[in-house]
Amino acid sequence: MHRTAQRTRTDVRTLEAIALAATHSAAIASRAWVGRHDKNAADAAATEAMRQVLADAPGRGTVVIGEGEKDEAPMLYNGETVGNGCGPDFDIAVDPLEGTSFCAKNHPGAMATIAFAEPGTLWSPGPGFYMDKIVVPPRAKGVVDLADTPERTLANVAHALGKPINRLRVVVMDKPRHQELIARLLRAGASVHTPAEGDVAGSLEVLLPTGDADLLLGIGGTPEGVMTAAAVRALGGDMLGRLAPQREEEAAAIRAAGMDVDRVYTCDELVGGDALFAATGVTGGSLLSRPRESEGAVLAESMLISSGQVRRIAHTGAHPNRGGIR
């Protein structure tokens, strides 16, 4: 469900600096917990650091989708407002530390992430925590359907990309719920990458020209889904999503909220206006390097996706777009 949009249009590009500052601060804060096998502490550190930056954001931001409800997560809960009020209104989707287990165990793939959009344009999943997703690059836009079998999806994407199925690289999270899906993809001849978590990172591997995947399938979190949709919209790819409750309590709450678990949402329904996505590396990997000491400062690498462009930024300060964007 979308909230009513404001009449005055917000140029989200004016928020690039605060998005980068937020993910940078979260990444540096969680860095102290890398390898300490305490994912909750790492997540809390990232969230608090990001919240402090957002408190000074120019304008008024509304967290449409965060990591927890107010009673369970005192920071960046759904519906919370941030900012100094002196500037544009904007929507926020946030996961201060994607890959908490990766951070705790010092495995590649953890990063701080956030998405900003025009006010009233981010889809709110209400009490839905999980969603089924398909993400494809721009060349495969319009050829996928959540009603298709995995085999038909592979065939359609392979045809659109001009390659045989046995050259397709598919990202599916390594979860018990995906055992049959993974088996069918393998039997069809595709190569399947199965990270333990991190479907935003998996989607970026699909979307980026330098990425190492052609397709993402499977069930992941709704915050990650909305943030992914922001990147998909900015880069011209394609995405479909559908609520996929994993427990009866979640399904009952969705029904009580008047939402339809069978409805398929397009990317433009998940993000209905201009949006940007930002991420900063925490433990390194193929997308972003880990923060490192450099001449007495901590140098971090971030990625900014906005207006059809992907920019990589190496920075140490709170406002990294004051130089260093390339």
pLDDT of res. 122: 96
Query: Exposed, middle or buried: residue 69 (CB in 10 Å: 0-12, 13-18, 19+)?
Result: exposed
265 token code pair: 């949402």
User: Angle at which helices 16-31 and 39-54 pack, to 10 degrees?
Assistant: 150
- Residue 117: name the closest of 136, 90, 155 by CA: 90
Q: How far apart are the first and last CA of the chain?
A: 36
148 with 238, same domain? yes
Comparing 319 with 122, the larger pLDDT belongs to: 122
Q: CB neighbours (10 Å) of residue 79?
A: 12
171 with 259, same domain? yes
Q: How many domains does the chain have?
A: 2
pLDDT of res. 151: 98
* Residue 95 known to bind ligand: yes
* Residue 38 known to bind ligand: no
Q: Would 27 be classed as within a structural domain?
A: yes
Q: What's the whole-number mean pLDDT along residues 83-108?
A: 94
248 with 298, same domain? no
Name residue 192's amino acid. Answer: V
100 with 203, same domain? no
Q: Would 162 be classed as within a structural domain?
A: yes
Q: Would 326 be classed as within a structural domain?
A: no
Q: Would 164 be classed as within a structural domain?
A: yes
| Residue 265: CATH number of its domain | 3.40.190.90
190 with 227, same domain? yes
> pLDDT digits over 267-305, tens only?
999 999 999 999 999 999 999 999 998 777 889 999 999
135 with 239, same domain? yes
* Residue 174 known to bind ligand: no
| Residue 101: CATH number of its domain | 3.30.540.10
Q: What's the whole-number mean pLDDT along residues 27-42?
A: 95
Q: Would 29 be classed as within a structural domain?
A: yes
191 with 260, same domain? yes
Would you say how long the chain is, in residues? Answer: 326
pLDDT of res. 73: 47
126 token code pair: 């209400």
φ, ψ of residue 308 in degrees (nearest 5): 80, 5
Q: What's the whole-number mean pLDDT along residues 127-152?
A: 97
Q: Would 4 be classed as within a structural domain?
A: no
Is the CB of residue 271 less than 8 Å from the CB of residue 17? no
Q: HSE of 26 in the Cβ direction (CA atoms, 13 Å)?
A: 35
> pLDDT digits over 223-255, tens only?
899 999 999 999 999 999 999 999 999 999 999
171 with 106, same domain? no
Q: CB neighbours (10 Å) of residue 309?
A: 10
103 with 74, same domain? yes
Q: Would 7 be classed as within a structural domain?
A: no
pLDDT of res. 9: 63
- Residue 234: name the closest of 267, 257, 262, 259 by CA: 267
In angstroms, rounded to a whole number, what is the distance separating the alpha carbons of residues 268 and 33?
37
Q: CB neighbours (10 Å) of residue 293?
A: 8
Query: 5 CB contacts (<8 Å, ≥6 apart)?
Result: 118, 119, 120, 121, 272, 273
Q: Would 304 be classed as within a structural domain?
A: yes
134 with 257, same domain? yes
Domain that holds residue 247: 130-271
170 with 65, same domain? no
Give the confidence band of 216 by pLDDT, cuts at 50, 70, 90.
very high
233 with 310, same domain? no
Comparing 157 with 197, the larger pLDDT belongs to: 157
Query: 196 CB contacts (<8 Å, ≥6 apart)?
Result: 101, 102, 173, 174
